[in-house]
Amino acid sequence: MSTPSVLITGAGIGIGAACAEAFAAAGYRTVLTDVLHDEGEAVAARLRDAGHDAVFRPLDVTDTAAVTAVVAETEGEGYDAVVANAGIVRRRGFTELDDAEWSRTLDVDLHGEMRVFRAAVPAMVRRGSGSLVALSSVSGAALGWAEHVHYSAAKAGVIGLARALAVELGPHGIRANALAPGFVRTGQSLDVVNSMGEDALRDSVSAIPLRRVGEPADIADVALFLASPAARYVTGQVVVVDGGLLVQQR
């Protein structure tokens, strides 16, 4: 049996790095990509030191030619899974949100996922199998987020992308699902300027039935499940991983 393989974008930090660790531990040949060169290479080096097959490739998911080249170089006969995780978040009031900021956020958070999937799917079709895991957010699945209209819109688009791909690619044996994390402790969420910050993240615990903020590994383990044969009949779904946030009665 051949070694399964996975491509993970935004794998230098946070949820992406945790996904790389989870997939590597499960025996996957892991290809990490990120615009953060030093961080991505450090994660890959740590995995290699632990005996795993892991490589890092610098990648800006807004660059179509670069996405196509990295996938072609690393996919072999086709990836078993692709985890599209690269994303950005910027705080901006709606009336101050200009076209450039709106377009930049959608270009990374939505179009970037599309580009990576589009490059990887042909080889998956040829092999007749594959799993696409698209990172969305509770802010795209159910919640609005003030001063983050562009982010919420992009993450809602990710859900539509996953659902439509599930229908179109299902006959080829390819599954597509969206993963919607709630409040997770990452460098991004701790950014008080553009995201929540430490205080707001801590205060959110009262709204979470499990009474804790999520960790990147909590999300990575579900991504691994969605990519695995254990989820072989799961496609077109939005899997919310939020400690019960969305079902908490206010």
Quick one: tokens of 5?
A: 């393989």
151 in active site = yes
Decide: residue 33, CB within 10 A, 0-12 exposed, 13-18 middle, 19+ buried. buried
211-226 in b/e burial notation, b at 16+ Cβ within 10 A? eebbebebbbbbbbbb
- How many of the other CB atoms lie within 10 Å of CB of 239? 19
In sequence order, what are the residues at sequence separation of 6 or more whose Cβ sits closer than 8 angstroms to the Cβ of residue 160? none
Residue 113: closest CA among 136, 91, 89: 136
Tell me the C-alpha to C-alpha distance, in Å, between residue 103 and each of 62, 100, 106.
Answer: 11, 5, 5
List 28, 79, 151, 233, catalytic entry: 151
Contact, 67 vs 115, CB < 8 A?
yes
Catalytic residue numbers?
151
